[in-house]
Structure 1
Amino acid sequence: MPRVVPPVADERTGLTAYLAHQRRALRVTAYGLTDEQARMAASASELSIGGLIKHAARCESFWTDLILQQPRRTQRDANESAADEFRLAPDETLADVLAAYEEAAERTDAVIAAIPDLGQPVPVPPGAPWIPAEVREWSVRWVLLHLIEETSRHGGHADVIRESLDGATFDPLLAAAEAWADPWVTPWKPASQ
């Protein structure tokens, strides 16, 4: 993946390219981590990289379900709190949440590709306290912008957590993950190498 999104020809390509780019950036924060490291909350909050990726997958599935007007595919079980969605549980692996995120992204991409008009209305679930009471629907365009915003926000959280874990930052992680031969960026290496 290039460091920046390539030029885009139209709105749909721009929105989907920026979403794909932010997804990849979030995934890169997990590059080279063990399951134990992916569970670690290395800042003042309880957020972990594995938990953020798990949440991003669930969030994307939630919005895709709304676009399709289907019941939620990914819901918390009775024993799971809202905070648990942001943690990698002991029985979950980083590979599991990365695979779930990839599946959610592929599904979203397929759904968006099949929608001819990004202005198509998307009903808003009633009663959520974070949704303005007068809003009854958004557009698919709005959903894509929201997913970009949500993914970017959590990617920033993950950047801070990763740097707190082992000092790794985005460009060296990306260079390592993609095996760049770029002379401007030294690829990240685990401390043991």
Structure 2
Amino acid sequence: MPRVVPPVADERTALTAYLAHQRRALRVTAHGLSEEQARMAASASDLSIGGLIKHAARCECFWTDLILQQQRGTQPEADESNADEFQLALAEVLAAYTEAAERTDAVIAGIPDLGQAVPVPQGAPWIPAEVKEWSIRWVLLHLIEETARHGGHADVIRESIDGATFDPLLAAAEAWPDPWVQPWEPASPSVG
């Protein structure tokens, strides 16, 4: 896949393509990590790459449930603890994120009007009291924003873990034949 979103023909394609691109960027931060590294809080915060991916999956489930007016998922908490957030194995976290993304994509594909109203849960301190609904369009933009924000966190964490950066990770994860980017390779264990 290319490093950037390809040209888009319309608003729906643009929103879904940019969301897919941000998901891919977040996922690639986990490429080549051990279970221990995926749980590692390598910065001043308690965030880990596995925890960020799990959180992004939960956010997508929450918003998709709102669109469908279902209560299947739980609202992501602002103060999720390390103990709860980092329990799944990395493969399970990535699979849950894929499942959440596929569900979101299927729901969005079945909605003809991006202006369709989505009821907003009341009482959350981050939601203005006067807002009663947002549109599907707003939800997609919010998911892009949320995924990009956490992808940035994951980039910093990954670089703190082993020095890996986005382009070399993407080149390694997707086996790019591109001579412009040297694909990331795990560091050889030092002998001594």
TM-score bracket relative to the smaller structure:
over 0.9
SS at match of 2:103: helix
The question of whether the paired residues in 1 share the 8 Å contact of 2:46 and 2:82 is answered with no
Partners of 2:155 and 2:111 in 1: CA distance: 33
Partners of 1:98 and 1:185 in 2: CA distance: 25
Match of 1:114 in 2: 110
Q: Pick from 182, 186, 189 the counterpart of residue 186 of structure 1.
A: 182
Partners of 2:37 and 2:151 in 1: CA distance: 16
- Work out the number of aligned pairs and report it: 187
SS at match of 1:161: helix
Shift of residue 86 of structure 1? 7.9
Match of 2:41 in 1: 41
Q: What is the TM-score normalised by the length of structure 1?
A: 0.93
Shift of residue 75 of structure 1? 6.0
SS at match of 2:123: coil
Shift of residue 192 of structure 1? 1.8
Q: Note the residue ranges of structure 2 that are not aligned, 5 or more in a row.
A: none
The question of whether the paired residues in 1 share the 8 Å contact of 2:66 and 2:120 is answered with yes
Shift of residue 82 of structure 1? 1.8
Q: What is the TM-score normalised by the length of structure 2?
A: 0.94
SS at match of 1:138: strand
Partners of 1:174 and 1:41 in 2: CA distance: 22
- Deviating above 3 A after TM superposition, structure 1's stretches of 4 or more consecutive aligned residues are 84-87
Q: In angstroms, what is the RMSD of aligned CA positions? A: 1.5
Percent of residue pairs bearing the same amino acid type: 82
Match of 2:100 in 1: 104
2:80 matches 1:82: yes
Match of 1:51 in 2: 51
Q: Note the residue ranges of structure 1 that are not aligned, 5 or more in a row.
A: none
